[in-house]
Amino acid sequence: MELIIKIIIRLGIGSAIISTLFIFWGASMFSGMCGNYIHSKTTSLDEKYEAVIFQRDCGATTGFSTQISIIKFGSKLENDPGNIFSISGHPEKVAPELVWINTNTLHIKHDVTGNEYLLEVDFGWFEKLKIKYGK
């Protein structure tokens, strides 16, 4: 009986290790399938941040996606989804206008319709930025 328990435990550990390796392999294989293509950038009034409008393209089976991220001024836009706004459509047709009202408030000139995938109203932990929507 002890031999059977030892075998079951070893098989369970082996399965866990193989599953973990498979998950990491899959994540590394498919993480590069998407790409970000910058449409425009708008710098905050104090030049601490940039609001970046970009198209996120994840291959032929997905439609166009216009997304917005706030990044530190001068830093590179990573190959990640937008961190404050996302909507279907090509940036040439659906990209909203961005206006920094003051050093901590970004106005996204977009009427909220419910078709947005991501619609944050603030950004950051310590120096919170406010995000306002509407024309």
Assess whether pLDDT exceeds 60 at residue 27.
no
Q: What does the block give as tokens for 5?
A: 């328990």
Three-class SS of residue 57? strand
Do residue 57 and residue 110 come from a single domain?
A: yes
- Count up the domains in the chain and report the number: 2
Provide the residue range defining the domain that includes 57.
34-133
Q: Where is 69: in which H helix or E strand?
A: strand 65-72
Residue-level pLDDT at 60: 78
Task: Compare 10 and 100 and report the one with higher pLDDT.
Answer: 100
Q: What does the block give as tokens for 106?
A: 């970004």
Sheet architecture: strand order including 105-109 = 97-102, 105-109, 129-133, 122-123
Beta bridge partners of 38: 54
Do residue 44 and residue 19 come from a single domain?
A: no
Do residue 16 and residue 42 come from a single domain?
A: no
Do residue 15 and residue 38 come from a single domain?
A: no
Beta bridge partners of 37: 55
Q: What is the DSSP letter of 89?
A: S
Do residue 59 and residue 24 come from a single domain?
A: no
Do residue 38 and residue 79 come from a single domain?
A: yes
Do residue 68 and residue 127 come from a single domain?
A: yes
Do residue 14 and residue 50 come from a single domain?
A: no
Assess whether pLDDT exceeds 70 at residue 125.
yes
Residue-level pLDDT at 61: 77
Residue-level pLDDT at 20: 74
For the chain, give the percent of residues with pLDDT over 90: 67
Do residue 112 and residue 72 come from a single domain?
A: yes
Residue-level pLDDT at 48: 96
Do residue 47 and residue 15 come from a single domain?
A: no
What are 61-107's pLDDT values in tens digits? 788 899 999 999 999 999 999 999 999 999 999 999 999 999 999 99
Residue-level pLDDT at 15: 80
Alpha-carbon gap, residue 123 to 128, rounded angstroms: 6
Do residue 39 and residue 16 come from a single domain?
A: no
Residue-level pLDDT at 25: 62
Three-class SS of residue 42? strand
Do residue 58 and residue 21 come from a single domain?
A: no
54 CB burial (10 A radius; 0-12, 13-18, 19+): buried
Residue-level pLDDT at 24: 62
